[in-house]
Amino acid sequence: MDESEYLSAKLSLPRDKVSATLALFAEGATVPFVARYRREVTGDMSDETLRKLLDAQAAYRSLEERRQTVLDSLAKQNITDAGLIAQVKAADTLSALEDIYRPYRPKRETRGSKAVKAGLDKLLNFIFSDRTGSLKEVAGGYVSEKYPTAEDCIQGALDIWAENISDRAVNRRAVRGVLAKDGSVVATLTKEPPEHTFDGYDSSRFPLSTIKPHQVLALSRGERLKCLKLSFDFPKDTLFTAIARSEKPAGFAYPSLLEQTVEDACERLIFPSVENEVWNELEEAAKSSSMEVFARGVQEILLAPPLKPQVVMGFDPGYHHGCKIAVIDRTGKVLDTAVVYPTIESQARIQEAARIVTNLVRKYGVTAIALGNGTASRESYDFLIDLFKDAQPPVQVCIVSESGASVYSVTPEAQREFPQYDVNLRSAVSIARRLLDPLAELVKIPPESLGVGQYQHDLDQKKLSAKLSDVVEDCVSSVGVDLNTASPALLEHVSGLNKRSAQSLVDYRNEHGRFDSRSELLAVKGFGPKAFTNAAGFLRISGQEPLDDTFIHPESYEVARRAITLLKIDGRETAAKLASSLTGEQLASYAKQLGTDQYTLKQILDELAVPHRDPRGEFQAPHFDTSIRSIADLKEGMVLEGTVRNVVAYGAYVDLGIHKDGLLHVSEMSDRSRRVDPSKLVHIGQILKVKVIGVDLQRNRISLSIKGLGGQGK
């Protein structure tokens, strides 16, 4: 089975589309470019499907590399059994391949190999074939320095047999199947964990067939911290019987030895090994699931709706060190900064803060305040709401997650951008900008620092970083970038660009002034045809060529112009009507006349209808109850409004505006929610009405529910 055939079967995709798509990637095309501009080649695969295809290709090549290693090893051992070679070539997973290879894999010295060296394999042959005579007397003939008694010799022969039983792929498959289907992992608390981390796991049993990914990761972490001891429980007696039946030689005269050897092979060799294999597979699947949860969360944060362009005040709350303020204009440029103290018990300081903040709002025409959700956030919120409750024009106060703001403030980029400000004022700027345009600001922060996901420190950091880098690239490409205003940090995540080429674009812009057309990109040093092809459609320019300010790729400009003439498009309304009314057959017919494909034509019509389409939606802010300032003010039964800050496998965390998020467990999302993915029910940034169903002051925990409330926000 070749690569494209394997991947086609694995992912249920047409083989011809798989081959053609992989050819594009081999030529250097990027996922965002292929997903948007080569739909006729891929059959309209999404960027998610394309990345799964690339991941599956990497896994296939890893399998093939291991397969070749196994075949080379067998050749070196002069093993030419045609049936064995065929099994190796047919194995479609790494575990299946390793099971087949196990008996032939070079091993370190074992009890069985020592016995073979001592010639006890001949004694084993006697045990298999003996019909009469004394085994003990025959075994006495094999006594040696290392096997000084007949009993030692018999045990040595049985050690060889036990290893043979263990090496047989059929036996390992049987154990793996029973363990995965009917087995459970049992956790026992061995020492008090920090901060009740493993509450609910002591003396708990988790069926391996239904165990949740977050439970696997929690148990693995508990074992690694030596807080939990894990053991496996499954029907061993059934396996003993089945394996003994299959291993019993014809006319075998020593049933007790068979029973003894099978039990030894299972307990000492097969069970521990297969338990590790099954648990490692569950752990890898759980890590993969956690990575997907993390990636989805990062995507939802990056694609949060931006505020309509306006003057914004960033307000980084604090107590004794004050609240840091930064005012930015509609483009994110800093206009002014200040430090005020409205959260300490000093009437003079509160009045001074009110005067400074009011003057800044009036001076610059501030219409929105981005308030960080960290320490002193609730007191600052009450101060600002009271200060501007009657303001005309209105001043909107929005609580913004400040996760990663402090990380950004100490980066070299922040130092280059704001050398005149200390780290606290840089944080205030970041908070303001992430309200104005979350994507443009948050790409400056490592995705790992955005405060989403679960068990991120248990994941392969290299794989996680690569995964999140793909997410950022897809997000940036889905929104598009203004080439004449974008920062290097934003540009480097555009399809086909990297840190170096992004900086080259900015350097060119600084030297020559704004870009007037996409074609001018080719004048930038180091920006060749391949980079142009991958990136041009995602870089927007407002200039003489209207098509430069759309997602229409320059390679399709002539097609777009001919389409305008052929379809008599005289404005957005006409384009929108055609985009929504043309059937697939009509699109295909017009596309043929235009010398293009129906996917490209449909995209052209969509862009002509809405040239500045933004997939991020409209900005909304929650309304917090001003009487709730801390967890101590919460009471069971209260119905509040909050914002989803994180979605994990077991539920979601909701910001109630009190510096402590409440847990909305999956079981409190709907009557059937235990059987569904929480991310299918809520998403990061969603505004929810929630009911408080539990307040644990000692553990600082809030339990929430949305059952029966209905009418949830988006």
Q: What is the mean pLDDT of residues 29-46?
A: 96
Task: Give the C-alpha separation, 480 to 275, whole Å.
Answer: 48
Three-state SS sequence of 467-481: HHHHHHHHHHHHHCE
Q: What are phi and psi of 401, to 5 degrees?
A: -65, 130
Task: Give the C-alpha separation, 189 to 201, whole Å.
Answer: 7
Task: Give the C-alpha separation, 500 to 522, whole Å.
Answer: 15
SS3 27: coil
pLDDT the model gives residue 623: 80
What are 356-408's pLDDT values in tens digits?
999 999 999 999 999 998 888 988 999 999 999 889 999 999 989 888 888 88
Which class in CATH covers the domain with range 312-436? Answer: alpha beta
What are 619-665's pLDDT values in tens digits?
888 788 778 888 999 999 999 999 999 998 889 999 998 878 999 99
pLDDT the model gives residue 672: 65
What are 216-245's pLDDT values in tens digits?
999 999 999 888 999 999 999 999 999 999
Task: Give the C-alpha separation, 659 to 371, whole Å.
Answer: 12
CA distances from 113 to 120, 159, 257, 447 (A): 10, 9, 19, 51
Smallest Cα–Cα separation from 340: which of 361, 355, 362, 327?
355
Instruction: Characterize 248-274 residue by residue with b for buried, 16 or more Cβ atoms within 10 angstroms of its Cβ, and e for exposed.
Output: eeeeeebeebbeebbbbbbeebbbeeb
What are 524-583's pLDDT values in tens digits?
998 999 999 999 999 999 988 999 999 999 999 999 999 999 999 999 999 999 999 999
pLDDT the model gives residue 58: 95
**Taking the domain 631-705, which CATH number applies?**
2.40.50.140
What are 57-113's pLDDT values in tens digits?
999 999 999 999 999 999 999 999 999 999 999 998 998 999 999 999 888 899 999
**The CATH number of domain 111-294, selected from 3.40.50.880, 3.40.50.10860, 2.60.120.10, 1.10.3500.10:** 1.10.3500.10
The domain defined by 3-104 carries CATH number 1.10.10.650: yes
Q: Global pTM? A: 0.84
In the chain, domain spans: 3-104, 111-294, 312-436, 631-705
pLDDT the model gives residue 712: 59
What are 278-303's pLDDT values in tens digits?
999 999 999 999 999 899 999 999 99
Task: Give the C-alpha separation, 657 to 379, whole Å.
Answer: 10
Question: Is 119 buried (19+), middle (13-18) or exposed (0-12) by CB count in 10 A?
Answer: middle
- Pairing status of strand 368-372 against strand 312-316: parallel
Same fold, 3-104 and 312-436: no
Question: Is 237 buried (19+), middle (13-18) or exposed (0-12) by CB count in 10 A?
Answer: exposed
Helical axes 169-182 vs 271-302, angle rounded to 10°: 50
Q: What is the mean pLDDT of residues 494-499?
A: 94
* Six-digit token string for 659: 């510096």
pLDDT at 13 over 70: yes
Task: Give the C-alpha separation, 196 to 439, whole Å.
Answer: 36
H helical segments located in 365-498: 377-387, 405-409, 412-417, 423-436, 438-442, 461-479, 488-491
Q: What is the mean pLDDT of residues 315-344?
A: 95
pLDDT at 711 over 60: no
* Helix (H), strand (E) at residue 589: helix 584-594
pLDDT band per the 50, 70, 90 thresholds, residue 203: confident
* Six-digit token string for 496: 């086909």
